[in-house]
């Protein structure tokens, strides 16, 4: 069996403990068969450095490349996060299309693709991750790599009408089709890309999940990413989890707790969620002093304007709702714009009666799965989940909401808070079975299995 070569914008830190989640899954995959994990080092330099820095850890080689300031701005902040991220999350209104940013994105994908091609051996398999590297596979092909190559998109793939807003949509689609296998989070994303290839690029559907297009055969499939439920449950019961829960309980005095945990991103629907909680308080005076909403929202991508605007909006909304409703001994919204350790988060999920996960669009949303994993059968909390999160395809035991419907979301929170324990247990059992059936190991193993057999004839 050949080695596994993984490329992702950021890698785990060589030599450091893995913080859980995706980093652990990819480390496990590399540990099993040996290989290379390639990505950006996180360093930004004034002038370009050639080559990669190599760190060896057991049977994994980390190959890290630096970015120049100009590359960081054009590739990462510019095209990846000002054009691709908004368009793929259906927010063409927030997208900024800049030809120079695209040229830099292409250059970085080319430079990185060439570097990675040099590190491959003929019997390796290559797995590239996410929207930062849509063109890297094609660059590897042009550098001579012709072995099996898969790509996984962690974010949604929008309908063709939305994707086509990108001035370079054809170039990007052609680049993606240099892979043999393209994995998406959901059936909806897979169908969107397939429709784009068939309707816009004259692709010809072959068998159940293949398309012949741009003189190649490409396999498209959904591989919904999962979590590690046993790890989260252990963290929730562990010391750090219990301590975080005890700290909060001391001040919340057994009030019902609604929890949200999200990177501070406009795709996560945070203003709508705060408005829904405000609406709950408008409509239900009997809940005043009886329920608190804890929103943990570590800031991200703060150099991008839309993220700065979101921060200002959330500060204002939380302040307004608290100003309207807080009392001497009760704060309705605890809004914490900072990062907490995984163990603490798991303990807080377990403490909460309601998990509020209401993105406007999300590839999957792992917080929804982590919230479920942290619950216990005796007294499970209720998940209120956006029907526009990828996770909704699997998590039918949740109360599903349209996150734009503020009154509907407020009603769903109310319903969750008053749900009898029998119904909570029934729903949780359905959700727990779903997250265990397709957990994080299932995700990586099923993707790699599909990638290994990708060169076999299409049935």
Active site residues: 154, 362
Residue 442 touches ligand GDG, criterion: CB under 6 A:
no
Among all chains, which residue has been given the structure tokens 């609406």?
279
- Candidate list 366, 374, 385, 388; residue touching ligand GDG; CB under 6 A: 366
Binding residue for ligand GDG, selected from 65, 367, 388, 454, defined by CB under 6 A: 367
Contacts 24+ apart (CB under 8 A), 237-240: 237/350, 238/343, 238/346, 238/347, 239/343, 240/341, 240/343, 240/344, 240/347
Give the contact letters, 266-305, x = binds to ligand GDG (CB under 6 A), - = no.
------------------------------x-x-------
Stretch that binds ligand GDG, among 62-70, 206-214, 270-278, 361-369 (CB under 6 A): 361-369
Query: Taking CB under 6 A as the rule, does residue 29 contact ligand GDG?
Result: no
Contact region with ligand GDG (CB under 6 A), list: 142-150, 359-367, 398-406, 407-415 = 359-367
342 binds ligand GDG (CB under 6 A): yes
CB of 87 to ligand GDG, least distance (A): 14
Residue 21 contacts ligand GDG per CB under 6 A: yes
Q: Check residue 52 for interaction with ligand GDG (CB under 6 A).
A: no
Which C-beta is closer to ligand GDG: that of 337 or that of 419? Answer: 337
Rule CB under 6 A: is residue 228 a binding residue for ligand GDG?
Answer: no
Nearer to ligand GDG, 77 or 103 (CB): 77
3, 111, 132, 154: residue in contact with ligand GDG (rule CB under 6 A): 154
Q: Which range in 64-72, 203-211, 337-345, 407-415 contacts ligand GDG by CB under 6 A?
A: 337-345
Full 3-state SS string of the chain: CCCEEEEEEECCCCCCCCCCCHHHHHHHHHHHHCEEEEEEEEEEECCCCCCCEEEEECCEEEEEEEEEHHHHHHHHHHHHHHHHHHHHCCCHHHCCCCHHHHHHHHHHHHHHHHHHHHHCCCCCEEEEECHHHCCHHHHHHHCCCCCCEEEECCCCCCCHHHHCCCCCHHHHHHHHCCCCEEEECCHHHHHHHHHHHHHHCCCEEECCCEEEECCEEEEEEECCCCCCHHHHHHHHHCHHHHHHHHHHHHHHCCCEEEEEECCECHHHCHHHHHHHHHHHHHHCHHHCCCEEEEEECCECCCCCHHHHHHHHHHHHHHHHHHHHHCECCECCEEEECCCCCHHHHHHHHHHCCEEEECCCCECCCHHHHHHHHCCCCCCCCEEEEECCEHHHHCCCCCEEECCCCHHHHHHHHHHHHCCCHHHHHHHHHHHHHHHHHCCHHHHHHHHHHHHHCCCCCCC
Q: Which of residues 91-120 bind ligand GDG (CB under 6 A)?
A: none
Complex with ligand GDG: residue 101 or 362, whichever CB lies closer = 362
362, 385, 401, 412: which one binds ligand GDG (CB under 6 A)? 362
Residues between 168 and 227 with contacts to ligand GDG, criterion CB under 6 A: 225
Q: Does 363 bind ligand GDG (CB under 6 A)?
A: yes
Question: Per CB under 6 A, which region of 54-62, 187-195, 336-344, 445-453 contacts ligand GDG?
Answer: 336-344
Contacts of 176 (CB under 8 A, 6+ apart): 134, 137, 151, 182, 193
Least separation in angstroms between CB 376 and ligand GDG: 19
In the chain the first and final C-alpha atoms are separated, in Å, by 24
Total residues at interface with ligand GDG (CB under 6 A): 21
* Closest distance to ligand GDG from the beta carbon of 216 (Å): 26
Q: Does 387 bind ligand GDG (CB under 6 A)?
A: no
Q: Which region, judged by CB under 6 A, interacts with ligand GDG, from 95-103, 110-118, 163-171, 366-374?
A: 366-374
Nearer to ligand GDG, 20 or 203 (CB): 20
**Shortest Cβ distance from residue 328 to ligand GDG (Å)?**
29
| Residue 365 interacts with ligand GDG (CB under 6 A): yes or no | yes
Tokens representing residue 365 in the block:
């949303």
Q: Shortest distance, CB of residue 289 to ligand GDG, whole angstroms?
A: 27
Task: Identify which of 229, 221, 135 has the alpha carbon closest to the alpha carbon of residue 173.
Answer: 135
Q: Please, what is the minimum distance in Å from the beta carbon of residue 53 to ligand GDG? A: 26
Q: Please report, as ranges, the residues that interact with ligand GDG according to CB under 6 A.
A: 21-22, 154-155, 225, 261, 263, 296, 298, 339-342, 345, 362-367, 370
């Amino acid at each position: 069996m050949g080695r596994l070569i993984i490329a992702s914008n950021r890698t785990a830190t060589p030599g450091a403990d893995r913080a859980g989640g995706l980093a652990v899954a990819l480390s496990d995959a590399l540990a099993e068969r040996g290989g290379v994990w390639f990505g950006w080092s996180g360093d930004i330099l004034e002038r370009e450095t050639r080559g990669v820095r190599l760190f060896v850890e057991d049977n994994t080689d980390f190959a890290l490349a630096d970015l120049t300031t100009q590359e960081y701005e054009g590739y990462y902040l510019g095209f990846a996060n000002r054009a691709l991220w908004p368009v793929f999350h259906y927010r063409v209104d927030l997208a900024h299309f800049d030809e120079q940013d695209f040229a830099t994105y292409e250059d970085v994908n080319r430079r990185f693709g060439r570097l990675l091609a040099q590190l491959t051996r003929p019997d390796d398999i290559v797995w590239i991750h996410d929207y930062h590297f849509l063109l890297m596979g094609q660059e590897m092909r042009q550098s001579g790599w012709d072995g099996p190559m898969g790509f996984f998109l962690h974010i949604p793939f929008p309908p063709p009408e939305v994707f086509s807003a990108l001035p370079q949509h054809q170039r990007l689609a052609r680049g993606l089709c240099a892979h043999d296998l393209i994995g998406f989070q959901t059936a909806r994303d897979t169908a969107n890309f397939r429709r784009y290839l068939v309707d816009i690029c004259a692709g010809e559907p072959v068998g159940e999940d293949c398309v012949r297009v741009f003189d190649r055969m490409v396999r498209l499939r959904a591989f919904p990413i999962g979590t590690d439920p046993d790890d989260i449950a252990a963290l929730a019961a562990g010391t750090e989890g219990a301590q975080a829960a005890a700290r909060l309980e001391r001040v919340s005095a057994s009030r019902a707790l609604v929890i949200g945990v999200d990177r501070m991103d406009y795709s996560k629907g945070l203003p709508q969620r705060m408005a829904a909680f405000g609406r709950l308080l408008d409509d239900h005076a009997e809940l005043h002093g009886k329920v608190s909403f804890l929103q943990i929202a570590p800031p991200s991508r703060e150099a991008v304007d839309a993220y700065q605007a979101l921060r200002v909006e959330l500060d204002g909304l939380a302040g307004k709702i608290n100003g309207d409703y807080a009392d001497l001994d009760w704060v309705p919204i605890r809004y914490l714009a900072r990062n907490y350790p995984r163990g603490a988060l798991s303990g807080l999920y377990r403490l909460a009666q309601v998990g509020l996960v209401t993105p406007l669009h999300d590839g999957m949303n792992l917080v929804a799965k982590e919230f479920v994993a942290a619950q216990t059968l005796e007294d499970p909390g209720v998940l209120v989940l956006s029907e526009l999160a990828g996770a909704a395809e699997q998590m039918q035991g949740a109360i599903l909401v349209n996150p734009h419907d503020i009154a509907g979301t407020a009603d769903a929170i109310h319903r969750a808070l008053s749900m009898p324990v029998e119904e909570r247990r029934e729903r949780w059992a359905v959700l727990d079975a779903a997250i265990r059936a397709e957990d994080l190991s299932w995700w990586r193993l099923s993707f790699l299995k599909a990638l290994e057999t990708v060169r076999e004839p299409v049935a």
